Structures are given as structure tokens and as C-alpha cells.
Structure 1
Amino acid sequence: MVRCWRHSEASLEDPHCMHCGPMSSFRIPHKVLWGSLAVTLLIVVIGLGVTAHLGLQRKTQSSLQDVRIPDHTGEFFNQSALIDKHNNVVTYFVTSHVNQTSTVIFDVRQGLVCYKPDNQDSCFLRQMESLDYENVESHLNKSEKQVSQVWLVGNETERHTEFMGVLPSSRLDASTLQEPLQSLCKQASVYWTRRSDGPGKQRLIYFCIDICFPSNICVSVCFYYLPE
């Protein structure tokens, strides 16, 4: 016969412990068991959430990486300009070191600048400013033909960076554009941009295009997406 004893050795057998056995002291109460399972499940859920967040963050950073077009290290880079005096349009073709050519159109008649990176299916628009008109006019005035193409090289006489923010919910239908912008962007998404002070440390630059004008002024135009 197996007896259950109280803490005092002198006490009598407890009638309520008739079913106690040698392994009774190892039984885990149901509340403790379910509590442990709940804590374990909570830890697993938190771990999965953190892993998913880090994966999404890495994916976002890889899709918004800093891409410079062109990423030149020397003083010169490959650039040409197509001058159309009849339509008051100057088109720049800027080729990177990996042979990717971005196109930038200055349309004086419409007062627009259009950027089309070669490695993206997107076009970015902005309004021309007074300095843009001056730089384009320097091309148009020097050209003796109605349509001509000149090759340019960049130098370090004067260089600065301009930041353009891509406006949220500003997508346009390329069919609403006029030529030559429509032909350039017919297979691309079109967005409006605006000049800004910079993306800040928390946002990454989407891409940059370097353009040099005949006035020995080189401009790096860098784009990034503005927050919603």
C-alpha cells in the first residue's frame, strides 16, 4: 500500500490522497502547461514578424539603391546633344561606363524637361527654369543647321547637384504628352517631379543623371521618391 504523507512525519494518512502515486509530484498543472505553450507561440510569432520585416527592408533597399548615371571617376564622360532649332528642342544622350544611355529632352516650346533613364521604364517631367532656358539657348544659337548633333565632354569648371522629388500619385498617361516627349515615353510610366533640398538621410537616391552644358556647367540631377 502506498501512502501520502503531509509535511509532518507525525501526521496521519490524508484521505484525500488515496490516488496519489510515486509520479504525482511530477505532474504539471494545466494552467502552467497552457501558459508555457502561449508564451512559446508568442515568441515564435514575434520571431517570424521580425524576420519578415527585415526581409522587406532589405528588398526595399535593393529596389531603391543609389544608381548614378553615369558613374564616372574621371573628368570626361560620353555625352552628345541633338539640336533641333526648328522645334526649339535639345536632346541629350548621356552614356554610362556600362554603356547605358539615358535621354534628357529640353523642350523650349512646351517649357518642359523630360528624363528617361535607359535602365528604367519611367519618364520624369519638370518645368523648365530660367537657367534651363539659358543653357538650351546657348546650344540653339551656336548651331548653324536646323538639325545637328554635337559631342560634348564634361569638365570640372563648375559642377553642382540638383535634387528632384518624384511626386506621389502624379502618374500621367504618356498619350497626353506632345511630341517629342510622347515618343520617348510611350512605353514608360510618366511622373511629375519638383525641386527639393534633398532626400535626407532616411531616404535613398533613386538615380542621378549628369549633364554638361556648353557654358562649362555640369549638373548632377538626382531623383528620389517623396513620401506619400
Structure 2
Amino acid sequence: INQSAVVDEQNNLVTFSVTSTANQTSTVLFDIRHGLICYKPVDTESCFLRKMEQFDYDNVRSLLDESTHKVTVSDISAGQTEFLGVLAATQVNISTLEQPLQDLCQDRSVHWTRKAEGPGKERLVYFCIDICFPSNICVSVCFYYLPE
């Protein structure tokens, strides 16, 4: 797995790209100005949104403080798994999103997510993305659908 981050200091954006060994790329966009994280996974016609928490702000700001605009992220030393449930009936009108999110998710449906305790026995795990920050903290984000 190859990971990189592109930092846009002017617009307060950090874009992570995670490329698998099959040469497929998932993208995670941190929009610090609007407090949103947008996940664009491989092999699905959807994007997923969630609101940033203090942990997210702290880790992403360390990238904004870097002097380079493209950062290669490696040296995994600590990890944490985060489960996000896709909320039922929460499709977002893409025209209501800011431009960077519209550009990332064009021609895809967009859904709100929320943090969850875990996948549970009756839930279907949809996909997982690993994101590593320069502070050597890694987060594995897994999405699954929540039952009504």
C-alpha cells in the first residue's frame, strides 16, 4: 500500500491518497475550513462525509505546518480502528457542498456517516481505508451499513 498526502495551505485542505497493490486509489479529503472529512473509496459509486473531531484537527494541522506541499506518509508505529456507519436516508445534495468536495465526488452519491462502536454481528462491513499521519498515528476507517 502506498500513501501520500497533498497539502493545500491556502484552502485549508489535506488530501490523502491510498493506493493498493492492485493500483486502485481511495481518497480522503480533510476540509479543515468547513470541518468535514470526505471519503471516496475504490469500487463504489458513493462518497461518505463525517464531521471532523478534535483528534482529526490535531493530526491534520501537523501536515499544514510542513513546508512541503506533497508529503509521503510512512513509518507506521501506532494504530487505531475507527468504524463509521452509513446513516439511512441521509443522501446529500452534492450542490450544497463546497467546491473541493463537489470536485472529489462528482457523479457519485454522497452519504453522511457517524462513528460507531464496531461492526456488530448483524451488520455488513463495506470497506476499510488505512490513513497514517506524520505523527506516526494511523487510523483504519471501516464503513458498514446500519440497519434501520
TM-score higher than 0.5: yes
What SS does the corresponding residue of 2:65 show, helix, strand or coil?
Answer: helix
Match of 1:180 in 2: 100
Which amino acid is 2:70 matched to? Answer: Q
**Equivalences for residues 118-133 of structure 1 within 5 A:** 118-133=42-57
**Equivalences for residues 72-111 of structure 1 within 5 A:** 77-111=1-35
Match of 1:169 in 2: 89
What SS does the corresponding residue of 2:138 show, helix, strand or coil?
Answer: strand
8 Å contact from structure 1 (residues 83, 143) kept in 2:
no
The partner residue of 1:158 within 75, 78, 89 is: 78
Match of 1:56 in 2: none
8 Å contact from structure 1 (residues 154, 218) kept in 2:
no
What SS does the corresponding residue of 2:42 show, helix, strand or coil?
Answer: coil
Which amino acid is 1:152 matched to? Answer: V
What CA distance in whole angstroms lies between the structure 1 residues aligned with 2:27 and 2:116? Answer: 22
Which amino acid is 1:178 matched to? Answer: E
Task: Tell me whether 1:195 sits opposite 2:121 in the alignment.
Answer: no
The TM-score normalised by the length of structure 1 is: 0.63
5+ long unaligned stretches in structure 1 = 1-76
Which amino acid is 2:29 matched to? Answer: I
- Cα 1:205/1:149, change in 2 over 3 Å: same
- Cα 1:201/1:154, change in 2 over 3 Å: farther
RMSD, aligned α-carbons: 1.0
The TM-score normalised by the length of structure 2 is: 0.96
Match of 1:217 in 2: 137
- Larger-Rg structure: 1
Q: Which has the higher contact order (CA 8 A, sep 6+)?
A: 2
What CA distance in whole angstroms lies between the structure 2 residues aligned with 1:105 and 1:83? Answer: 10
Cα shift at 1:118:
2.2
What CA distance in whole angstroms lies between the structure 2 residues aligned with 1:211 and 1:142? Answer: 18
Greater strand proportion: 2
Cα shift at 1:160:
1.2
What CA distance in whole angstroms lies between the structure 1 residues aligned with 2:73 and 2:136? Answer: 10
8 Å contact from structure 2 (residues 74, 134) kept in 1:
no
Greater helix proportion: 1
Which amino acid is 2:47 matched to? Answer: C
For residues 75-124 of structure 1, the C-alpha deviation after alignment (integer angstroms, 9 at most, x for no partner) is xx300101000011000000011111000000000000000012111000
What CA distance in whole angstroms lies between the structure 2 residues aligned with 1:200 and 1:168? Answer: 17
